[in-house]
Amino acid sequence: MTASPMTIGLIAAATAIPSNDLADWGAVEKPLGTPVSTTRGRILDRGQGGFPESGVWECSPGTWRCEVGRAEFCHFLSGRCIYTHDNGEIITIESGMTAWFPAGWAGRCQVTATVRKVYAIV
């Protein structure tokens, strides 16, 4: 769903959407070994309201190189992942946590339990 400038965008019960009802977005771009994480999602808004994109994102277990081009605000609805910054800092994110990834963040993401989050790229 993409909201118009005068309409409120809405995804009801983002935690309850069956995975097969999310669009298949394919494998992560820079996998680091196997299994290779695959992603699914649903766009709430693309390019309106001041944000380039917002929606729901899901990712299966695996590890990949993560490079954040534009800052992202996200709230993790389920799952668990470990982000390791290139400087060695390690952050574990689990269901119920909210995160801000600054533009330029780079490192490794390891999803240990399928992750689902709502996000807004700014």
Pick the range with the lowest mean pLDDT from 10-19, 35-44, 47-56, 90-99: 47-56
pTM assigned to the model:
0.88
> What per-residue confidence (pLDDT) applies to 51?
65
How large a percentage of the chain has pLDDT more than 70?
92
Tell me whether residue 48 is in a domain. yes
Q: What is the CATH number of the domain that holds 110?
A: 2.60.120.10
pLDDT of 48 above 90:
no
Alpha-carbon distance 61 to 39, whole Å? 10
| pLDDT, the chain, mean | 91
Query: What six digits make up the tokens of 99?
Result: 């995160």
Task: Examine residue 17 and state whether it is found in any structural domain, yes or no.
Answer: no
Number of domains making up the chain: 1
- Tell me the per-residue pLDDT of 5-35, one tens digit each, with 9 for 90 and over: 567 778 888 999 999 999 999 999 999 999 9
The residue among 33 and 45 whose pLDDT is bigger is 33
- Three-class SS of residue 5? coil
Per-residue model confidence as pLDDT tens digits over 66-87? 999 999 999 999 999 999 999 9
Strands of the chain, DSSP E? 23-27, 38-46, 53-59, 62-67, 72-85, 90-94, 98-101, 106-121
Q: 81 in a domain, yes or no?
A: yes
Q: Is residue 24 part of a domain?
A: no
Residue 89 forms part of a structural domain: yes
Cα–Cα distance, 41 to 29 (Å, whole number): 15
- Establish if 22 belongs to a structural domain: no
Q: Which domain holds residue 107?
A: 29-95+102-121
